[in-house]
Amino acid sequence: MAAANAQCANKPNVIILSDDDNDNDECELSTFICTACTTLLAHETDLLGKGIGEDGRHGAAVFSRLLNALIGPENRQLEEDEMAARILCTNCSIPLEWKLVRVPRPHDMIQQGRDILHFSRVSRIPVDSSIASTSSEN
């Protein structure tokens, strides 16, 4: 656990995806997987933030990059001149949410190239600290 905590100390703004998580594991490194097929989609270090949907519970998380995701054929205009492309899981092709492809006025987390995943499409899986410390030594 020390290796995971040391890495967390270097990243003070670790954000937990689910409100159901215990407060005492905030520094635990995690990966994010597709809920449909368990394909690895992202690492904790790529999580930039999260937002809550209109229903007050469901929302989306913003990532700097994804693994195992394809840009699909569907595009969508967001606010004003912003454009997003549908992203899909490479293994099961489930729609994950959107990749921001055009953001004329970037702000905070909303910037071109960022990926938005819907909470219902991803699961947060804590990484065993012994695995994290082994992979960081190589």
- The residue range of the domain holding 64 is 2-137
Question: What pLDDT score does 53 carry?
Answer: 57
Specify whether the CB–CB gap between 59 and 53 falls below 8 A. Answer: yes
Q: How far is CA 16 from CA 51, 84, 85, 87, 132, in A?
A: 11, 25, 25, 22, 18
Q: Which residues pair with 83 in a beta bridge?
A: 77, 102
Question: What pLDDT score does 83 carry?
Answer: 87
Q: pLDDT tens, 75-90?
A: 887 777 888 999 999 9
Question: What pLDDT score does 129 carry?
Answer: 45
Report the predicted TM-score, pTM, of the whole model to 2 decimal places. Answer: 0.68
Instruction: Name residue 136's amino acid.
Output: S
Question: What pLDDT score does 28 carry?
Answer: 65
> How many domains in the chain?
1
Question: What pLDDT score does 59 carry?
Answer: 83
Question: What pLDDT score does 106 carry?
Answer: 86
CA 42 to chain centre: 6
Instruction: Name residue 78's amino acid.
Output: L
CA angle, 17 then 72 then 100, to 5°: 55
Q: Which among 101, 75, 102, 100 is positioned nearest to 86, based on CA atoms? A: 75
Q: How far is it, in rounded angstroms, from Cα 104 to Cα 80?
A: 9
Q: What are the residue ranges in the chain where pLDDT is below 50?
A: 1-25, 129-138
Output the domain CATH number for residue 11. 2.170.150.20
